[in-house]
Structures are given as structure tokens and as C-alpha cells.
């Protein structure tokens, strides 16, 4: 194998592969990227078995075809310190030579035949979702995905394809986030995608995409990337039962003012008490220390008597930081019952703090 390629191109590819590499044990072949030059293209693969990525480009000068592996982190470290311009990559005697002008580097390789195989998408069922809708929906529910929960299904997000809608849902047991979009698929399906995969999907895909699946994998294909993730095997909670069927009081609130007020309180405490009076809303810190923070805004709530809720401020800020419009609604029942934050097709149900 021998090629020349612009530094910016190979550096960009290697940066994208880093989250897919085994970092701790460099003796594992999954700490390496697979470099394949064939069919007038350069393809680089990376996987930690759970998620994987193939990046391809035809913006390369191919002198000789071939396949090789190299440590993905060290490869990127070398490319980063080189100057802008063309870099030469060549394999001789199972060694990858990286050179530019008077600079020369060597990286050992593993047998590329031992590199994990990737699932193929040809012939698999396809999910039809607009790329913008997919990314926007995942962005909104990502903060509510749990981490290291012994119930593995809560460490991911649900894509629930029903007859007339596609629902995206996630929960960390204290809040539930749900996004609803129109269904363009004929089949019905429920899959759970790990949080790590969801974060990488949001970084990679902006253009037209194709989604495929089987019993164990979700595969996403675009012009330059092919991505796969293992699916989480489990039963996601019945999220529709958690959303309150009736709401006794609904308020439409300004996003920017609410964010500003809550952030003032979070300098002291993450837990905030919000009191809705007839024509004002007050925000107070809930802290065990003798430190207090308090602010208020003028707002006609319509409440004839004060209504109090206490919340973890992060839940409210996570919601507000992902909504698109300048206003949102809050649906309230009783102080100690879950309340609903809504904007367009996005809802978050939050369990209040009992005080």
C-alpha cells in the first residue's frame, strides 16, 4: 500500500475515529484503525466492538492498493504534528511509514485479518427518518438518558416506531423525555440505542442518511460515513403511562427569562423552589447551608393562591437549552406530583423534590 493524502483530510478522518477506539489496552487490535486502499478510495475503520465507524474518501492519490492496521491514537498524534500539505503513507515489511519532507515515522501493525468484521446493511430492513428530525430528536432526549444504571435499557434511548408516529424516549427515573414525529414507515419497531452511540450520531450525521437494522445492530449510512452500534437488549419502560393524562393548570412561560432566573439560583444551589403567585414567580435556593439566593419575575399566572414546586435545576435547564422557540409550557397538578414541560412535539415529565 502506498498513497499520498492532504494532512487536513487524513487528520479529520482520524479525529472522527477516536471515540471508537479501545483506549486502555493498546495490545488489542481494537486500539488500531484499519486502513484500506482499494477501488480508488481510502477507507478507515475503527471499532470497540460496541460501536464502529467507516470513513471513506476519494480525495487521495493512490500509488498502490493494500490493507494495514495502525494504532489510531499514535497515528493521529503523528499527523497532528506535521505541517499542512501532502503526507505519504506506505507499508513495507508490515510497518507503516508516515513521511513528509524530512520527517519520517514508523508504526508497527497488527494482522489486518484479525480486525473485527462490521455488520453489512445490504438486504436489511430500512427505517425512514429525515436526518434533521433524527438529530434534533436525539439532541432533546440525550440529557435524560441514565448512566451506569443496573437496568441496562435505561442507559440508552428508545426509538419506538408506531403506526402513525415515531417516538423517541429516555429516562433516568427522575424525568422522562419524549419527542414525537410523523411516521414514514410501514413497519412497527422498538429499538434501544446506547447513550455513547447517540452522542456520536449527533456529531457525524447532517446530510441525507439511510438507517438499517437487524436484531442486534443499527447501521447508519451516508455519503462519507457508515456507522454501526450494538442495540441494548431489554424492555424499555412503558413511557406513555408516565405522562399525566390530565393537567389542572397550564402556563406559557418565556424561555430566556426563566433560564436567567434559574441560573442565578444555581450559583448557590442546584435545587430550586419556584413559587407561582398571582402576578409574580419567585425562585429560591434550597440549601442546607446558611446561604440564600432569591429572585423573581413579574408574570400573570392566574393562581389565586401560591403554588410551590421544588426541582433539580438541571432538569429544567436541560429542557430549556434544547427547545427551539422562545416560549414553553409547564403543566401542573399538585406540588408533589410530576409536572410536564412542553414545547411543540417535545415533552419532559419531571418528578419534583418533596419539601
Tens of pLDDT, residue by residue over 145-154, are: 999 889 999 9
Residues facing residue 32 across a β-bridge: 71
Q: Does domain 126-241 have CATH number 3.10.150.10?
A: yes
In the prediction, which pLDDT does 270 show?
Answer: 94
CATH class of domain segment(s) 2-114: alpha beta
Residues facing residue 348 across a β-bridge: 177, 341
**Is the pLDDT at 185 greater than 90, yes or no?**
no
Cβ proximity of 117 and 34 under 8 Å: no
Query: 88-142 pLDDT, tens per residue?
Result: 999 999 999 999 999 999 999 999 999 999 999 999 999 988 899 999 999 999 9
Q: Which residue has the cell 462519507?
A: 224
Fold classification of 249-350 is DNA Polymerase III; Chain A, domain 2 (3.10.150)
Residue 259, all three cell numbers? 433560564
pTM: 0.91
Q: How far is CA 243 from CA 32, 238, 239, 250, in A?
A: 45, 10, 7, 15
Ranges of CATH 3.10.150.10 domains, the chain: 2-114, 126-241, 249-350
Using the Cα atoms of residue 311, residue 253, residue 167 and residue 335 in order, give the sign of their dihedral: positive
As a whole number, the mean pLDDT across the chain is 95
Residue 74, all three cell numbers? 499514535
pLDDT (mean) for 226-236: 96
**Strand ranges across the sheet with 175-182:** 189-194, 156-161, 165-171, 175-182, 346-350, 339-343, 327-332, 249-254
**Element spanning 135, H or E:** helix 131-141
**Residues above pLDDT 70, as percent of the chain:** 100
DSSP secondary structure, 222-272, as one string: -SSEEEEEEPP-S----GGGTS-S--SEEEEEEHHHHHHHHHHHHTT-SEE
CA dihedral 217, 222, 226, 232 (to 10 degrees): -20
Q: Say which residue, 268 or 186, is predicted with more confidence.
A: 268
Query: 271-325 pLDDT, tens per residue?
Result: 999 999 999 999 999 987 788 999 999 999 999 999 999 999 999 999 999 999 9
Amino acid at each position: 500500500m502506498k498513497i499520498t493524502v492532504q494532512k487536513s483530510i487524513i487528520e479529520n478522518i482520524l479525529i472522527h475515529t477516536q471515540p471508537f477506539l479501545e483506549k486502555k489496552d493498546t495490545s488489542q487490535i481494537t486500539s488500531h484503525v484499519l486502513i484500506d486502499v482499494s477501488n480508488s478510495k481510502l477507507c478507515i475503520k475503527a471499532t470497540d466492538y460496541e460501536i464502529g465507524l467507516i470513513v471513506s474518501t476519494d480525495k487521495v492519490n493512490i500509488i498502490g492498493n493494500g490493507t494495514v492496521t495502525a494504532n489510531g491514537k499514535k497515528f493521529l498524534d503523528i499527523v497532528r504534528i506535521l505541517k499542512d500539505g501532502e503526507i505519504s503513507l506506505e507499508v513495507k515489511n508490515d510497518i507503516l511509514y508516515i513521511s513528509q519532507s524530512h520527517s519520517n515515522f514508523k508504526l508497527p501493525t497488527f494482522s489486518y485479518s484479525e480486525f473485527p468484521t462490521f455488520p453489512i446493511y445490504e438486504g436489511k430492513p430500512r427505517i425512514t427518518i429525515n436526518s434533521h428530525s433524527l438529530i434534533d430528536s436525539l439532541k432533546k432526549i440525550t440529557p435524560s438518558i441514565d448512566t451506569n444504571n443496573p437496568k441496562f435499557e435505561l442507559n440508552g434511548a428508545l426509538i419506538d416506531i408506531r403506526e402513525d408516529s415515531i417516538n423517541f424516549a429516555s429516562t433516568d427515573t427522575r424525568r422522562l423525555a419524549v419527542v414525537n414525529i410523523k411516521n414514514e414507515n410501514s413497519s412497527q419497531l422498538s429499538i434501544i440505542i446506547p447513550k455513547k452511540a447517540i452522542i456520536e450520531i449527533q456529531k457525524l450525521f447532517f446530510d441525507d442518511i439511510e438507517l438499517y437494522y437487524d436484531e442486534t445492530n443499527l447501521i447508519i449510512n451516508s455519503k462519507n460515513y457508515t456507522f454501526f452500534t450494538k442495540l441494548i437488549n431489554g424492555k424499555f419502560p412503558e413511557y406513555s403511562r408516565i405522562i399525566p393524562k390530565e393537567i389542572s393548570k397550564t402556563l406559557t412561560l418565556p424561555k430566556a427569562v426563566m433560564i436567567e432566573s434559574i441560573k442565578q439560583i444555581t450559583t448557590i444551589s442546584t435545587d430550586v423552589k419556584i413559587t407561582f403567585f398571582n402576578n409574580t414567580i419567585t425562585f429560591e435556593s434550597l440549601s442546607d447551608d446558611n446561604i440564600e439566593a432569591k429572585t423573581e419575575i413579574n408574570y400573570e399566572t392566574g393562581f389565586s393562591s401560591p403554588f410551590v414546586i421544588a426541582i433539580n435545576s438541571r432538569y429544567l435547564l436541560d429542557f430549556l437549552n434544547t427547545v427551539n422557540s422562545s416560549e414553553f409550557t409547564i403543566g401542573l397538578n399538585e406540588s408533589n406530583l410530576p409536572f410536564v414541560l412542553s414545547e411543540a412535539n417535545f415533552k419532559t415529565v419531571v418528578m419534583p423534590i418533596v419539601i
